[in-house]
A and B are shown apart, each in its own frame.
Chain A
Amino acid sequence: MLTRARCLMTTTGRLSAVLVDLSGTLHVEDTVIPGAVEALRRLRQCPLKVKFVTNTTKESKQMLVDRLQKLGFDVQPEEVFTSLTAARNLVEELKVRPMLFVQDSALPDFEGIDTTNPNAVVIGLAPDKFNYRPLNDAFRLLLEGAPLIAIHKARYYKKSDGLSLGPGPFVTGLEYATDVTATVVGKPETTFFREAVKTLGCAPEDALMIGDDVRDDVGGAQVAGMAGILVKTGKYRPGDEEKINPPPTTVCDSFSEAVYYICNKILKT
């Protein structure tokens, strides 16, 4: 642990920001991961900036914040950076009018965005909209040169009644039809992590990511130049730490232990 901590110090210089994954790291659905509420409080007492980062496709930022607050976490909307935020930022940067494939529950995150006479396609998770006619409309826009923006490319997700198709298959199908390559905005894309730390006014090298997904959280953050802590909660499975190279900066049993590690090993080394 100490060797790793020294190694982290030398690669990051001075740690100034921590990015925290939500689902699987702080909570699983409506259950708090033991010790996480108190650990977050401790983290906030450190001289560190904190941002919460998540790949959400159907929940708006406000819905996420409401849930976290109900569970007892001290989280404000402006501290949350989601794949929907990243998609919105890209839409604004490109100055395009998107055709939005997102569920109605995610629409608040696109409030104020002009979607009339669209000239871009944004694909999130939209089971109610992934049908032949709307996809055909999207296809025709892409042929006219509209950019394709994917919130992420997950193959499927778990629903109460079984596995269900995620956005990835539909993005892949449209890419095949048009030879257009989608710009993916969520984790594990490098731009996602860079944008998230940019909002904190610091460089990736001075930031650290804590998450339960070895590829999407830890691997993605490390590729972006950050340090990464893998927690053994949520979707973690034994052996996950060996799935990426270089391996996670460190592995902790939980968010609570990760905060202890940051406060007592990194900041005090």
Chain B
Amino acid sequence: MASSGSWFDSCSDIQGVLLDISGVLYDSGAEGGVAIPGSVEAVKKLKQSGLSVRFCTNETQCTRDHLVTKLCGLGFPVQREEVFAPAPAACIVLRDRNLRPHLLIHPDCRPEFEGVDCSSPNCVLIGDATDEFSYKNLNEAFRVLVGLQDPILISMGKGRYYKETDGLTLDVGVYMKALEYACDVEAEVVGKPAKAFFLAALQDMGVQPQHALMVGDDVMNDIGGAQSVGMRGLQVRTGKYRPEDEHHPSVHPDGFVDNLKQAVDLLLQHRGQ
């Protein structure tokens, strides 16, 4: 399929690029997952081009360090400081507001919350807990929330599903919605599509939103989120992409590309590189 739209005709003012990780660089799954063909080379080329590059992920199945190690193992040139993930952002929120969380998160993500006071919780924090999303654990989180006078639910991302090597898989947003419905609360989201999350990455690059491009596979959280802060959003047809995304009722990506490789080739070509 050819790329549609003319996003690349007006990309000469792009100074920085934010890349989603899962579904754009690689597909997660058993044994660490697999790189999406062409993506390793594309990231290398992008970094060599002089454009600022950051990685914006809603990954909460592991620590940021573990994720970086995994990506390096697949051949991606990625450093810890370049990766923006929800858990470190959530820790800042907890600290700033004196919140003691009841955690419903993946066991491999726990090290990110080392030192966080979880005694007599006054909020519930959830991440992509996968198998930990059992009835028993959800019910425990529910009971904490209904027991609070002013229930606070914080969700690391609100994605509906993502792609694993063996198929599409439910994401944290589904369990966030379940708890919202059960307790009549609205969750606060850290990570994509929260504006603060994109703005933190942009600030780190020193790039204004109108000069930045987000590349992702999630039409709502990557594209919709980036556009809400004034960035441009490019959707790849890899990862969780489904053809219905091209007719999304509310989010209209600035362009579609078959994969990250095509995005980087077109971007650099039309910037005269």
The interface of chain A, by Cβ under 8 A from chain B, is: 127-133, 135-136, 139-140, 143, 155-156, 162-166, 168-170, 172-174, 176-178
Chain B proximity of A177: nearest CB distance (Å)? 5
Docked-complex contact B168 and A169, CB < 8 angstroms: no
Instruction: Kindly list chain A residues whose C-beta atoms are within 8 Å of the C-beta of B6.
Output: none
Interface stretch among B51-59, B94-102, B135-143?
B135-143
CA A129 – CA B135 in complex, angstroms? 8
Q: Is there a chain A Cβ closer than 8 Å to B10's Cβ?
A: no
A-B contact pairs, 18 of them (CB 8 A): A128-B135, A132-B133, A132-B134, A133-B131, A139-B168, A140-B168, A155-B182, A162-B143, A165-B142, A165-B178, A165-B182, A166-B182, A170-B178, A173-B170, A173-B175, A173-B178, A176-B177, A177-B173
User: Once bound together, how far apart are the Cα atoms of A165 and B143, in whole Å?
Assistant: 9
- Tell me whether B167 is interfacial, beta carbon within 8 Å: yes
CB contact under 8 A between A176 and B138, given known A139-B168, A156-B182, A163-B143: no
For the A-B complex, the count of residue pairs with Cβ-Cβ distances under 8 Å equals 84
Considering the chains assembled together, what is the distance between the CA atoms of A128 and B146 in angstroms? 22
**Most chain A beta-carbon neighbours within 10 Å: one of B133, B180, B181, B184:** B181
With the chains together, A164 CA to B131 CA distance in Å?
Answer: 20
Beta-carbon contact of A177 and B174 below 8 Å? yes
Q: Distance in Å from the Cβ of A101 to the closest Cβ of chain B?
A: 11
Chain A CB within 10 Å — which of B130, B175, B177, B182 has the most?
B182
A127 to B142, CA, bound (A): 14
B179 within 8 A of A: yes
Known interface pairs A131-B133, A132-B134, A163-B146; A169-B170 also in contact (CB < 8 Å): no
Q: Which residues of B contact A133 (CB under 8 A)?
A: 131
Instruction: Among A127, A130, A136, A164, point to the contact of B170 (Cβ < 8 A).
Output: A136
Q: Is the CB of A136 within 8 A of B169?
A: yes
A168/B182 contact (C-beta < 8 A), A131-B135, A132-B170 known: yes
